[in-house]
Amino acid sequence: MARVAAVDCGTNSIRLLVADVTVREDGTAWLRDVHREMRIVRLGQGVDATGTLAPEALQRTADALADYTAIARRKGVEQVRMVATSATRDASNRDDFFAMTERVLGVRAEVITGDEEARLSFTGAVGDFDPDDGPFVVTDVGGGSTEVVTGTWDGLRAKVTAARSVDIGCVRITERCLRSDPPAPAEVAGAADLAREVLTEAFEAVLVDDARTWIGVAGTVTTLAAIALGLPEYDSDAVHQATLTFDQLALTTQRLLSTTHDQRAQIPVIHPGRVDVIGGGAIVVATLAGQLKARAGIESLRASEHDILDGIALSLV
């Protein structure tokens, strides 16, 4: 057994998983959570427009990473891997970010490709699901990118058959399209058109015709699930493996896009850092739903609390 730490730094949030990893005799691994945490740092603030990571965004990320480093040390972590995704891939001053992560964490962050991000997300997502529900399509809607990946799970190992990452996410689509509060109908229509255009590239590369179950991971999907379930406060146990019908998803999306920032802020399950971008994220998820219904006949979404963090942790053994 090894105690490891996985750090996932995306466009909107930075997350930490400390876990004990046990390797079975058949070579597969089992994770036991020790500590899991998420903070909104908005590293990708404005990067889509400027191509540069803002100094204040770098500082917010450094502050959170310093706290994560202290947690990892207190808990006796033996190995650490930090993965950085969409925002850092696009930034001209990404070397400043890498230098900061090495200074604070003691390990240099890795910028992984979108396809590798998709594969790690799939590995982390499917482990708690019944293999008979496969083949699976897993989607990870982040701040700046969305990953679509298909594959199978036999109860011991995940096998990825295809994966693609495209540049659309809750922060990117909000900054490009949704300027009013609440967004005007024309802005919503423009955002939906953009999402369809970008996601078509993913679905042309990743054939989903034989997929039976759609699993959605990461904060946008888990937040939408918590809203649709009407939870009085966020409950990861209730959200994990929850099923959302497409009617529930459509109603939740409509609700978010018809309310103001202040009204959304009163919904207790929305993290304060997601209030301004959850509507954009909902548009991306709703667009995925439309594509999966048309291409695979899928009519519901399963939410998973396990995602790329779990995949990163498993990659350390």
Task: Establish if 80 belongs to a structural domain.
Answer: yes
pLDDT, tens digit (0-9, with 9 covering 90-100), for 52-85 = 989 999 999 999 999 999 999 999 999 999 998 7
Residue 176 has which token pair?
């490009």
Instruction: Give me the percent of the chain exceeding a pLDDT of 90.
Output: 68
CATH number for the domain spanning 254: value is 3.30.420.150
Q: What is the mean pLDDT of residues 272-281?
A: 93
What's the predicted TM-score (pTM) here? Answer: 0.81
Residue 86 has pLDDT above 70, yes or no: no
Q: Is residue 315 situated within a structural domain?
A: no
Whole-number mean pLDDT of the chain?
91
Provide the number of structural domains found in the chain: 2
Tell me the C-alpha distance between 137 and 302, whole Å: 10
Q: Categorize the per-residue pLDDT at 28 as very low, low, confident or very high, splitting at 50, 70 and 90.
A: low
Residues 8 and 96 placed together within one structural domain of the fold: yes
The per-residue pLDDT for range 106-125, each reduced to its tens digit, is 999 998 877 787 788 888 89
In a domain, 81, yes or no: yes
